[in-house]
Amino acid sequence: MGDWPAQSVMDFRGRPLPERGRPAGYAALIARYDLVLPPPPRLVAIADRHHPASTDDWLMLTPRHQPQADLGHQLSFAFRYEGIDLQVLSRLFQAVAGEEIAAIVRAAPTGAFARRLWFLYEWLTERRLDLPDPGKVRLVPVLDPDQQYALQRGEASSRHKVLNNLPGTRAFCPLARRTTTLAAFSGRALGDQARAAMGRVRADLMARAAAFLLLNDSKSSFAIEGERPSGQRAARWGQAIAQAGARSLDVSELNRLQAIVIGDARFVRLGLRDEGGFVGVHDRDTNLPIPDHISARPQDLTSLIEGLAAFADRAAQGNMDPVVAAASLAFGFVYIHPYVDGNGRLHRWLIHHALARAAFSPPGLVFPVSAVILRHIERYRAVLESYSAPLLPLIDWRATDGGNVEVLNDTADYYRYFDATAHAAFLYDCVEQTIEHDLPEEVRFLQAFDAFGQAVQQVIDMPMAQFELLHKFLEQNGGRLSQRGREREFSTLTDEEVARIEDAYAQAFGA
């Protein structure tokens, strides 16, 4: 156990400060109690001067904000300026005696901070403190909705006189901060925009667009994993995506979906892992694992997946922001990595599940987020690594004889309580692109395709298969029928007919 930060520094555990400052709040608690955890994405420090400059990594406050160097004041400071960090609190509550927390509560038993702290201690530790009823006081929410995304409908805790608006349970509860970027996304009502856009398009055209986008999302999800599935396998997974949100989420449902993803399971073990897992490669000479990410321990999987399912239900029933909930759920799943294979596609399926459960996605339409992710694959990987990279050095593991990993320390909290802010911002951006780009682009294509088809029929009757081949030839050659097409597949067309068809293509597609 160390001391409270007393001196201004330019670096905190490898993270440079924008200017000299004294770590405060969660940073001070991490230093004082030597907590081993991935540092929160944004920390707080007290600057030496009165007009400091903050960054994405550091909130720099003035000297007048300096909290006293004791547990209660640093916790109160953290709650006020940083919100609730369950991972820090979970580790902290393991490091301090319950009586220290009880003493803080007794000092101001009716205060909002004390009641929130009391609730969180008992919620995280499942240990009961010897404290009296705070009396008749107004309920306060555990999460400040102006700071962090929370349930709009929580449940009252009569013991603590708080409203539990946490989106998950002790088993799984990632949180996202209400940043300027996320607040702006939330205010755009993208789901309503998509429904309004669909209402302006003919129903039959919209159905065709939705079918294409669904299949495109399925194929893209495989492509992200470096796979090129057969048409039948892609269509089968597309059907599973279309049904997302229709069933309650639990281990058996995820197992069913994994079997659909894998298809031929002769070389893959289905169901939750019974051994370690990692994402990475093996040394070519020694076969030793070289992990980029280490998955949750097999003995923690049942608890984590049950917690993940409970999070999905609470978020939907409590009217949590659907995209933030989807990001927390999906990225939480992929960090847990509960299966030997199929995790990536199930991770993206969970996005559709959360959006559908919240009725964010218009009925019959799947936002092709996998297609957008594929277009921005490097950003996607960067978001994944924003948590997995700082987590990796904290996991104590050894290589097994079979080239796998065995985790030697308790890592469950790392997967239960991560900060999902960056993940939510990325997913919101993907959803916005599907609504403002992918959906209208597909509708415009179908409208042009139909107009071109009608124009061709004025020139010559041909079966749909031949018409689609003709369109493909023109599309691949800038609106002109290639010499090969003229001499082989469409040799019966006259020069005049070809000219009229090329003109019709230009009129329809702007070629």
41-78 pLDDT, tens digit per residue, is 999 999 999 999 999 999 999 999 999 999 999 999 99
CB atoms under 10 Å from CB of 229, counted, come to 19
Q: Mean pLDDT in the chain?
A: 93
Query: pLDDT band at residue 212, thresholds of 50, 70 and 90?
Result: confident
- Measured between alpha carbons, how far is 45 from 28 in angstroms, rounded to an integer? 9
pLDDT score recorded for residue 123: 98
- Measured between alpha carbons, how far is 206 from 460 in angstroms, rounded to an integer? 28
Q: Are 374 and 220 in contact (CB under 8 A)?
A: yes
Over range 213-237, report the average pLDDT: 86
Say yes or no to pLDDT of 495 above 70: yes
Residue linked to tokens 């050659």: 477
The two three-digit tokens of residue 249, written as one number = 């989420």
Radius of gyration of the chain (CA): 27
Tell me which of 34 and 365 has the higher pLDDT.
Answer: 34
- Measured between alpha carbons, how far is 294 from 187 in angstroms, rounded to an integer? 36
Phi, psi of 265 (to 5 degrees): -100, 20
Say what the alpha-carbon torsion angle 319, 322, 327, 328 is, to the nearest 10 degrees: 0
pLDDT score recorded for residue 233: 85
Say yes or no to pLDDT of 236 above 80: yes
Query: pLDDT band at residue 511, thresholds of 50, 70 and 90?
Result: low
The distance from CA 151 to its chain's CA centroid, rounded to whole angstroms, is 17
Over range 299-315, report the average pLDDT: 97
Say yes or no to pLDDT of 197 above 80: no
Judged on CB neighbours under 10 Å (0-12, 13-18, 19+), 102 is: middle
pTM for the whole structure: 0.92
Say yes or no to pLDDT of 113 above 90: yes
Nearest to 74 by CA among 131, 12, 32: 32
Say yes or no to pLDDT of 331 above 90: yes
Question: Whole-angstrom distance between the N-terminal and C-terminal Cα of the chain?
Answer: 70
Nearest to 421 by CA among 317, 327, 336, 339: 327
Over range 223-232, report the average pLDDT: 85
Query: pLDDT band at residue 330, thresholds of 50, 70 and 90?
Result: very high
- Measured between alpha carbons, how far is 54 from 42 in angstroms, rounded to an integer? 10
Say yes or no to pLDDT of 90 above 70: yes
SS3 257: helix
Query: pLDDT band at residue 262, thresholds of 50, 70 and 90?
Result: confident
Residue 224 makes CB contacts below 8 A (sequence gap 6+) with 344, 348, 370, 373, 374, 377, 380
- Measured between alpha carbons, how far is 437 from 362 in angstroms, rounded to an integer? 16
Residue 406 makes CB contacts below 8 A (sequence gap 6+) with 276, 397, 398, 399, 400
Tell me which of 47 and 439 has the higher pLDDT.
Answer: 47
Query: pLDDT band at residue 208, thresholds of 50, 70 and 90?
Result: confident
pLDDT score recorded for residue 416: 97
Residue linked to tokens 């493909």: 472
Query: pLDDT band at residue 215, thresholds of 50, 70 and 90?
Result: confident
Say yes or no to pLDDT of 184 above 70: yes
Say how many CA atoms lie within 13 Å of 448 toward its Cβ: 16
The distance from CA 285 to its chain's CA centroid, rounded to whole angstroms, is 36
Say yes or no to pLDDT of 267 above 80: no
pLDDT score recorded for residue 381: 94
pLDDT tens figures, 333-363: 999 999 999 999 999 999 999 999 999 988 8
Judged on CB neighbours under 10 Å (0-12, 13-18, 19+), 249 is: buried
Residue 15's beta-bridge partner residues? 12
pLDDT score recorded for residue 146: 96
